[in-house]
């Protein structure tokens, strides 16, 4: 019964109870700090659930750039981009992003999620098909659903199955293939060269989500599309400003005419307030730092590699991880929750990831390594994680 005496919402209580019983309930926990390390009254903890891979969210230069933008533009862009919300900070960020990614143009959105909703639904409609990797991020799937195009999934990282799926959809007016360059829950890498070749052969459009590659892979962290020199074969390289760049927002890098199309047709761009000026400026400062330091991503990948090898040698299943994202795949939901709890007791913060975020039966702990973790931190953490694995009977 709710407080106005109606029992019309009993289904919510029942639904929550069911989630709880399946080990699938999600709850919010409050943190005092962001980044790879945090302190509370009990001392230092290591945070392995942050996407602030380079520690940029607390970078002094980036914070200063944001503060300067607050001062000059105010706290809000106060309008959507097509009304009066396009400010110099937006145009300059977009020009910089285009150059950074090696594309003629770029368009900034309110978030990475909004970017995928907007660009996919602008590119395809009822007569078209979206062919998505089976593990593609929810925002890519939601964009496809919003577009009303026929949605098909291809086997994870399987270019042959992609080719077959494209063949199956050959009657669609337009076909759009979507994948991630670094997968968010597995940390493995898409075979982008092969996928791009299949798309070219079948005359399909290709969108690559570089949310977890931007800032990390390639010289200066320009991402895997540029690292593999695929700018001419990947029609849209999207990314977020909210992960390695330490800010908030999203973007699509593409041709100039495609950018114009998105301005006219991407509903999440048109009907939403422009990116806050401070977020735009902070992200742009992050690009400048990446360009001047060039090897931050490589350093992170090197540390992650040593850490992953330790965990693998101890017997953990880290799947095909080859990035700063390292899953410890344990299978059962409850088991992943128990391991997370045990790690928390050891002052290691790592979150259990369960279905529907990952496929049924592949519940896991997702570890993300950041530059806030020193070599010594990682060695110590590996010992603790291995102890916890034994204690839970996983090793
Ligand atoms: C996080 C993420 C997004 C969404 O980006 P936000 O800026 O957080 O909305 C999109 N795609 C992938 C693969 C992601 O991991």
pLDDT value of position 37: 78
Whether residue 168 contacts residue 152, with contact meaning beta carbons closer than 8 Å, is answered with yes
Going from the Cα of 394 to the center of ligand 1, the distance in angstroms, rounded, reads 30
Atom of ligand 1 nearest to the CA of 113: 9
Atom of ligand 1 nearest to the CA of 180: 13
**pTM (2 d.p.):** 0.95
Question: Is the CB of 250 inside a 6 Å radius of any atom of ligand 1?
Answer: yes
Write out residues in the chain with pLDDT < 50, as ranges: 1
Atom of ligand 1 nearest to the CA of 240: 7
CATH 3.40.640.10 placement within the chain: 59-292
Q: Residue 180 catalytic? A: yes
Sequence-distant (≥ 6) Cβ neighbours of residue 324 within 8 angstroms: 53, 187, 212, 216, 300, 301, 304, 368, 369, 370
Pairwise CA distance, residues 144 & 120, whole Å? 6
Going from the Cα of 113 to the center of ligand 1, the distance in angstroms, rounded, reads 6
Q: Which CATH architecture has domain 59-292?
A: 3-Layer(aba) Sandwich (3.40)
Q: Which of 112, 186, 275 to mutate to test the pocket of ligand 1 (most atoms within 8 A of CB)?
A: 112
Whether residue 126 contacts residue 172, with contact meaning beta carbons closer than 8 Å, is answered with no
User: Alpha helix locations (H) across the chain?
Assistant: 10-21, 60-73, 88-101, 112-123, 138-147, 159-168, 192-201, 224-227, 256-265, 267-270, 277-293, 296-313, 333-345, 375-391
The pairing of strands 175-180 and 351-353 is unpaired
Whether residue 300 contacts residue 155, with contact meaning beta carbons closer than 8 Å, is answered with no
Question: Is the CB of 366 inside a 6 Å radius of any atom of ligand 1?
Answer: no
Q: Residue 51 catalytic? A: yes
Whether residue 172 contacts residue 147, with contact meaning beta carbons closer than 8 Å, is answered with no
Q: Residue 243 catalytic? A: yes
Going from the Cα of 237 to the center of ligand 1, the distance in angstroms, rounded, reads 13
Q: Which of 132, 133, 225, 242 to mutate to test the pocket of ligand 1 (most atoms within 8 A of CB)?
A: 242
The pairing of strands 150-154 and 129-133 is parallel
Question: Is the CB of 179 inside a 6 Å radius of any atom of ligand 1?
Answer: no
Class of domain 295-391: alpha beta
Structure tokens at 5: 């005496």
pLDDT value of position 202: 98
Instruction: Compute the half-sphere exposure of residue 21: CA atoms within 13 Å on the CB side of its CA.
Output: 6
Nearest CA to 115 out of 232, 199, 237 is that of: 237
Three-class DSSP category at 195: helix
Sign of CA dihedral 360, 363, 368, 369: negative
Question: Is the CB of 115 inside a 6 Å radius of any atom of ligand 1?
Answer: no
Structure tokens at 35: 């980044």
Sequence-distant (≥ 6) Cβ neighbours of residue 306 within 8 angstroms: 375, 378
Pairwise CA distance, residues 80 & 85, whole Å? 5
Nearest CA to 370 out of 314, 320, 297, 290 is that of: 297
Candidate list 47, 51, 139, 268, residue with the active-site label: 51
CATH 3.90.1150.10 placement within the chain: 295-391
Residue with the smallest CA separation from ligand 1 atom 8 is 112
pLDDT value of position 36: 73
């Amino acid at each position: 019964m709710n407080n106005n005496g109606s029992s019309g919402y009993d289904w919510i209580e029942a639904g929550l109870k069911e989630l709880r019983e399946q080990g699938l309930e999600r709850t919010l926990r409050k943190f005092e700090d962001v980044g790879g390390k945090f302190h509370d009254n009990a001392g230092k903890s290591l945070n392995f659930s942050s996407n602030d891979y380079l520690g940029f969210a607390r970078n002094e230069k980036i914070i200063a750039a944001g503060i300067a933008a607050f001062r000059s533009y105010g706290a809000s862009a106060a309008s959507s981009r097509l009304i009066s919300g396009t400010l110099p900070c937006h145009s300059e960020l977009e020009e910089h992003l285009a150059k950074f990614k090696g594309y003629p143009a770029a368009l900034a959105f309110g978030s990475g999620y909004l970017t995928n909703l907007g660009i996919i639904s602008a590119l395809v409609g009822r007569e078209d098909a979206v062919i998505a990797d089976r593990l593609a991020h929810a925002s890519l799937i939601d964009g496809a659903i919003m577009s009303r195009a026929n949605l098909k999934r291809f086997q994870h990282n399987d270019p042959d199955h992609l080719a077959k799926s494209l063949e199956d959809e050959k009657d669609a007016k337009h076909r759009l293939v979507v994948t991630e360059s670094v997968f968010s829950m597995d940390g493995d890498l898409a075979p982008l060269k092969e996928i791009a070749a299949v798309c070219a052969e079948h005359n399909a459009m290709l969108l690559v989500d570089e949310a977890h590659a931007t800032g990390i892979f390639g010289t200066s962290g320009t991402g895997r599309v540029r690292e593999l020199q695929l700018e001419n074969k990947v029609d849209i390289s999207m990314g977020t400003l909210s992960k390695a760049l330490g800010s908030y927002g999203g973007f699509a890098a593409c041709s100039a005419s495609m950018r114009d199309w998105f301005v006219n047709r991407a509903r999440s761009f048109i009907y939403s307030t422009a990116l806050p000026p401070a977020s735009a400026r902070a992200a742009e400062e992050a690009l400048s730092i990446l360009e001047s330091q060039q090897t931050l991503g490589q350093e992170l990948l090197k540390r992650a590699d040593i850490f992953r090898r330790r965990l693998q040698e101890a017997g953990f299943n880290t799947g095909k991880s080859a990035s700063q994202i390292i899953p410890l795949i344990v299978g059962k939901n409850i088991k992943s929750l128990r391991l997370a709890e045990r790690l928390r007791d050891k002052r290691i913060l790592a979150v259990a990831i369960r279905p529907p975020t990952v496929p049924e039966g592949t519940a896991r702990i997702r570890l993300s390594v950041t530059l806030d973790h020193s070599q010594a931190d990682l060695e110590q953490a590996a010992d603790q994680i291995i102890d916890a694995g034994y204690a839970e009977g996983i090793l």
